[in-house]
Amino acid sequence: MTARLLLIPGILLVAAVPFTAQDRAPQIDSIRKGDLKADLYFLASDGMQGRLTNTPENALAAEWIKARFERLGLAPAGPDQSYFHPFNLMTATLGAPNKVEVALRGSTLRLDSGQDFHPQRFSASAHARGQVVFVGFGIHAPAQGRDDYRSANLAGKIALLLDHEPGERDPNSPLDGVVTAEAANALRKTLAAQARGAVAVAIVSDVHNHPGPSNFEAMARAAWPEPPPRVERYALASLMEQVRIPAVQISPALAATLLSGAGTSLDEIGQAAESAGFTPVPLDVEMDVTTTVHRHVVPDRNVLAMIEGSDPALRNEWIIVCAHYDHDGADGPRVFNGADDDGSGTVGLLEIAEAYALAAREGRRPRRSVLFAAWNSEERGLLGAWAYADQPLVPRERIAAVLNMDMIGRNEEVPEGGGGRFRGLDLQTAESNRNAVNVIGTTRSADMKTAVQQANSGIGLELKLRYDNNMSNLMRRSDHWPFLQHGIPAVWFHTGLHPDYHTVYDRPEKINYEKMEKVARLVYQTSWDLAQQAGRPRLTAGSPEPTRTNRR
């Protein structure tokens, strides 16, 4: 019986048919729900205290994963024959002084920190003075048809730019549709301006897209809360260290003052900046900016293991199978167990690694090499995955594909009145998704989509391909995203959000282990097929080109 495809908008159903013995990935039956359950009840137990970054329990989780890789006989894939891939995070505390002065029409305005402006958390401790140039959204994404700096002379100038991005609600926007583009990140905008000679950056809300009254003082307090929050705010040190100039967020009222001599309002010039043909506007005003931000280095680590490929020509190419092991910690007696997010993906990774190890003992190794990666600090901004994607331990051009598992253990459920956490998602019941898995990222690579579909013919899950261009921003909310930004085909297997997501109710007893077994087998089969085939998956024409910041 051949597979029969039933096409429904956004959904692909594949009738389940058995693989032939030669097509089926070896030892796939070793991936069992009982093993997944036993591991998850440990990893997501109360004793692991939610595995928050930079806590003893997070370190214990890393050691446990390392021990499992080692026991399976998998080779270490970190530096110096280690299973750990070290990198640094960075936190920030606000120092003094922080000052902004504006020279306008012969007078000098002295502005108050916390009332008219506040330093960005990624700002350097530095001083600058210069003429202000309005550069629109400050987007540098020429491959996507947008470069707000193409005609700007920013040498010695201060760049005034808008938050967010043009066309942010337009599904047809070349900047990733309604998904927030990586180039819209404030840190990346600052680096783009700095690279073009700017001596400081001032960022203001794009009020034409986000109108309504705002309490800037409250926003400033939220940026630098006192006392500090339970969950620290981290950045990737290798990226934050590149910022050498002052970067401040300014109030719309201050921006209006800067624009007052240009005969335009912030709303008007913001609307003009939506156009791809917008050109920077020099303003007849100078700013003097001093920021004092103390940076603190926090060591972090991923856990990496590998199995070397058997083909002399292909063993230097890599398939990455990954998940993240961190979560949101505990607040006193309230433990954010993170069973689904992402204990489920982590134990799935261990089961897939075991299947590869068992197959290797039988003399069946994949043609390409496979990297098993347990990323850390995903919840803090995909930081472990970014650390590796930015500075991989193997040449980036040899990474053929990335298969990411994040929340593979539940049934997607979007309730009525669920709030902003379900923004952009249709109402749906858990029952309607009892056999479904979302596969996110397939629009970037038709070859990856085909590989997943073919692998699923022996699994029988309902594949839903629906969230690549959705205002929920799911496309950029897990560890496949950094690799896509570097031009590497990558997909995310995700059984969906649910009311227990990021709450103390995300516990191991609520996991659908039978379904999780099927998802893990699907990922294993897909990875095996990609490791075996002669060719490697390609990006779909028109996909965004790689991010250039911090590449090697």
Concatenated DSSP letters of 201-221: EEEE--TTTS-S---HHHHHH
Beta bridge partners of 94: 293
Backbone angles phi, psi at 107, to 5 degrees: -120, 160
What the chain holds in terms of domains, given with CATH numbers, is: 5-89+297-532 (3.40.630.10), 96-291 (3.50.30.30)
Residue 6 has pLDDT above 50, yes or no: no
Distances (CA, A) of 164 to 141, 209, 286: 14, 9, 24
Let me know: does 451 contact 530? Beta carbons within 8 Å.
yes
pTM of the model as a whole: 0.94
pLDDT digits (tens, 9 = 90+) for 427-454: 999 999 999 999 999 999 999 999 999 9
Residue 13: predicted pLDDT: 38
Instruction: Quote the percentage of the chain above a pLDDT of 70.
Output: 94
Span of 127-136, 213-222, 543-552 with lowest mean pLDDT? 543-552
Paired sense of beta strands 247-250 and 117-119, if any: antiparallel
Q: Average pLDDT for residues 310-327, to the nearest whole number?
A: 98
Q: Average pLDDT for residues 316-326, to the nearest whole number?
A: 98
Residue 219 has pLDDT above 70, yes or no: yes
Q: Give the SS3 label for residue 130.
A: strand
pLDDT digits (tens, 9 = 90+) for 258-312: 999 999 999 999 999 999 999 999 999 999 999 999 999 999 999 999 999 999 9
Span of 13-22, 156-165, 509-518 with lowest mean pLDDT? 13-22
Q: Average pLDDT for residues 388-401, to the nearest whole number?
A: 97
Q: Average pLDDT for residues 347-368, to the nearest whole number?
A: 98
Distance CA 201, CA 517 (A): 49
The first and second tokens of residue 366, run together, are: 């994949």
Place of tokens 């390609």: 538
Backbone angles phi, psi at 148, to 5 degrees: -70, -5
Residue 469 has pLDDT above 70, yes or no: yes
Paired sense of beta strands 5-8 and 235-236, if any: unpaired
Residue 546: predicted pLDDT: 58
Paired sense of beta strands 462-464 and 11-14, if any: antiparallel
71-75-80 Cα angle (round to 5): 120
Let me know: does 491 contact 452? Beta carbons within 8 Å.
yes
pLDDT digits (tens, 9 = 90+) for 85-102: 999 999 999 999 999 999
DSSP E strand stretches across 220-292: 235-236, 247-250, 281-291
Per-residue pLDDT band for 105 (boundaries 50, 70, 90) equals: confident
Distance CA 295, CA 234 (A): 10
Rg (CA), the chain: 24
Contacts of 379 (CB under 8 A, 6+ apart): 53, 324, 326, 327, 328
Distance CA 439, CA 516 (A): 14
Distances (CA, A) of 441 to 105, 403, 466: 52, 10, 10
Span of 10-19, 160-169, 341-350, 540-549 with lowest mean pLDDT? 10-19
Closest CA to 70 of 355, 360, 354: 354
Per-residue pLDDT band for 218 (boundaries 50, 70, 90) equals: very high
Q: Average pLDDT for residues 118-132, to the nearest whole number?
A: 98
